[in-house]
Each structure stands twice: as structure tokens, then as C-alpha cells.
């Protein structure tokens, strides 16, 4: 392997720049050429490449977003699109690829590898933490801190007006952000897709909060919650059933995807970038690098996509106990 390309694909997340920096610097360390591909698979199809040296990635470890931009590419889902992408890689004498992204980006990588036997290593970059084979994806820790800070602020206004707030956080089909930010911000209730506790239970718990003298309440709702109601319908439902509550809704939205990465995400990105390049130089492919028991470890890329995710039961119990 003499020339490695790196790209960011799918939804962006804080820490992607730190990972790009790490891949580029590790390549420089091993005297291997490094190419950046702009706009993920779409840029690969269009040959939108840039040569990156150790100095190209100065002062980006602290920046949110991704300097290589990200994109979703319909064309890469077609054999013709992937053929063009492969031709561009060959033309630029690129031998291996590091893909920083989520499960969709990894799926594209697996399909591409099957067709062209092109070496690929994935680095999990998504705030949702919904990837098997790593305790943390890049950006998850930062998103948690952003969500907790926002919920703290909402609590200030909630308690000044004795209000009940429903706060929707991101996470797609995973409840990691909701559960962890909920516990971290002291939410009274946390609704996540993995655990349908039923709306009756929520009403009971809110009634109890009032009886025991709580003046304000926060319910954190994961965007993928399966209670059958969206966050606005949930708020209406509670207002209808518990008229003593004045209810408001806040959807945190894309702010959770932005901002400077936390120290944890910067360190994780640096570690994963080194490992990704070393695996490629070692002739390995179709692996995702991640964190297991605080050690950098690799997982089969297909397993990372399909392995599913499990919510921490102990944390659910902690949340339950904290709301008595």
C-alpha cells in the first residue's frame, strides 16, 4: 500500500476532522501518500481529490464538521457510479481507502470491496452511536455534552415557570443520546425506542413528581421513540390528561451535530485514525476500528453494520432510581 485515500460520508459528526488529521499524519509518519476525497462517494465518482500532507491538517483537531465535506450519493448505489469511482482511484494510483461515516457509508464500502476487491477500513463517525463493535462512535460524546448543556438551560426556564418540557434529542433508531443525556441532565422521564414503557406509566410518574413537590419536569424523548406519538402529540396527550401541567416542547435538532469536538472525541479520533492506517499498511481490509473496553479494536465491517446495538440496562435502572 503506497497511497491511501480518506473521506467523510453520510451525516457529519464532531471529531471527523480530528480523524482526518490522524489518518493524514499517520500516513506521513509511515511515508505513505495521502489523498483526501471531497464529498464522500460523490466526490469519488467525480474525481474530486486533494493531496494532503501533514501540514494540510494544521489546526483542524478542534473544528466541528468536516473539511472534506460530506454527501449522500445516489450514483454510488449504481454499478455504473461505482465503476467511475474505481476508475478514478486507479487513475490516481490510490491503493486503499479509509471511510469515516455511519452504517450506510460502510455498506457502500462493503459493496465496493466485493466488486473491485479494493481495501477499505471504516472509522465510525456518527453522533447516534448505533454501530456494533465500538462503545463510542466519533461525535457521540460531543453530542451528549451539547444535549446536556441545552437541557440544563431548558430546565432553568422550566423551573421558573413550573412547566413541563418535552425535549426531543437525536439518535435515529437508537436511544443512546436520550438515555445518557437524560441521566446526565436529571430528566424525570426518558423515552427511548429500545424500551416502550407505555404512556400510562409516564402519566403516573409525572403525577407522582407533582405530588412529591417537583416544580418543573423534563421528559427527554429520543427521535426514534416508538410510543406511537411524536413529541408534539406526546405533549398534547399529557396536557389533556394532566391539566395541572403547562407543557412545552423543544426539539434540539441539528445543533447536536455541530460544535467543537470534546476532548474524548479528539482522543478517540486520533487513536482510530492511527489504527485504520496501520491495518491498511498491514494488508488488512473490511474492518472497522472502534473502542472495546477502552482498547482500540477492529470488527468485521459487515458485522459492524448488522450487529445491532444494545442499550445499557444498568443505566436504565439508574435512571429509574434517580427519578424516585
From 25-33, 72-80, 187-195, 316-324, span contacting ligand ATP (CB under 6 A): 72-80
Q: Is 21 annotated as a binding residue?
A: yes
Catalytic residue list contains 128: yes
Contact between 107 and ligand ATP by CB under 6 A: the answer reads: yes
DSSP 3-state of 26? helix
Strand locations in the chain (E):
3-8, 33-37, 49-52, 96-101, 120-124, 163-169, 189-191, 217-222, 246-251, 287-292, 295-300
Closest to 177 in 3D by CA, of 305, 13, 61: 13
Contact between 15 and ligand ATP by CB under 6 A: the answer reads: no
C-alpha cell at 75: 450514483
β-strand partners of 36: 6, 50
Contact between 8 and ligand ATP by CB under 6 A: the answer reads: no
Residues that bind ligand ATP (rule: CB under 6 A) add up to a total of: 18
**Which is catalytic among the residues 48, 128, 141, 225?**
128
Do 82 and 112 meet the contact criterion of CB atoms below 8 Å apart?
Answer: yes
Interaction mask 209-248, ligand ATP, x per CB under 6 A: ----------------------------------------
Q: Is 25 annotated as a binding residue?
A: yes
According to DSSP, the β-strands at 3-8 and 33-37 are parallel
Contact between 43 and ligand ATP by CB under 6 A: the answer reads: no
Q: Is 40 annotated as a binding residue?
A: no
Contact between 111 and ligand ATP by CB under 6 A: the answer reads: yes
**C-alpha count within 13 angstroms, C-beta hemisphere, residue 109:** 33
C-alpha cell at 243: 391539566
Contact set for ligand ATP, span 297-316 (CB under 6 A): none
Q: Contact positions toward ligand ATP, by CB under 6 A?
A: 9-11, 41, 72-73, 76-77, 101-105, 107-108, 111, 126, 128
Catalytic site residues? 128
Residue numbers in the known binding site for ATP are: 11, 72-73, 102-105
Amino acid at each position: 500500500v503506497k497511497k491511501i485515500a480518506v473521506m467523510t460520508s453520510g451525516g457529519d459528526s464532531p471529531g471527523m476532522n480530528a480523524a482526518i488529521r490522524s489518518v493524514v499524519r499517520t500516513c506521513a509518519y509511515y511515508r505513505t501518500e495521502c489523498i483526501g476525497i471531497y464529498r464522500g462517494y460523490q466526490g469519488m465518482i467525480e474525481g474530486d481529490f486533494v493531496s494532503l500532507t501533514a501540514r494540510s491538517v494544521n489546526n483542524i483537531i478542534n473544528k466541528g464538521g468536516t473539511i472534506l465535506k460530506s454527501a449522500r450519493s445516489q450514483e454510488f448505489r449504481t454499478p455504473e457510479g461505482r465503476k467511475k469511482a474505481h476508475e478514478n482511484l486507479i487513475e490516481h494510483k490510490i491503493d486503499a481507502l479509509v471511510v469515516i461515516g455511519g452504517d450506510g457509508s460502510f455498506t457502500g464500502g462493503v459493496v465496493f470491496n466485493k466488486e473491485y476487491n479494493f481495501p477499505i477500513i471504516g472509522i465510525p463517525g456518527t453522533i447516534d452511536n448505533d454501530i456494533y463493535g465500538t462503545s463510542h462512535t466519533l461525535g457521540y460524546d460531543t453530542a451528549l455534552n451539547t444535549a446536556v448543556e441545552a437541557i440544563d438551560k431548558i430546565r432553568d426556564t422550566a423551573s421558573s415557570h413550573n412547566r413541563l418540557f418535552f425535549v426531543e434529542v437525536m439518535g435515529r433508531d437508537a436511544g443512546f443520546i436520550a438515555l445518557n443525556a437524560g441521566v446526565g441532565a436529571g430528566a424525570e422521564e426518558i423515552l427511548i425506542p429500545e424500551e416502550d414503557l407505555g404512556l400510562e406509566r409516564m402519566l403516573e410518574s409525572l403525577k407522582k413528581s407533582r405530588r412529591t413537590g417537583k416544580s418543573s419536569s423534563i421528559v427527554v424523548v429520543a427521535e426514534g421513540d416508538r410510543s406511537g406519538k411524536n413529541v408534539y402529540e406526546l405533549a398534547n396527550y399529557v396536557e389533556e390528561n394532566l391539566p395541572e401541567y403547562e407543557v412545552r416542547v423543544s426539539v434540539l435538532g441539528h445543533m447536536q451535530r455541530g460544535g467543537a469536538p470534546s476532548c474524548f472525541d479528539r482522543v478517540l479520533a486520533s487513536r482510530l485514525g492511527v489504527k485504520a492506517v496501520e491495518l491498511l499498511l498491514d494488508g488488512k481490509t473490511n474492518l472497522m476500528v472502534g473502542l472495546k473496553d477502552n482498547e482500540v479494536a477492529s470488527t468485521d465491517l459487515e458485522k459492524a453494520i448488522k450487529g445491532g446495538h444494545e442499550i445499557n440496562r444498568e443505566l436504565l435502572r439508574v435512571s429509574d432510581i434517580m427519578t424516585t
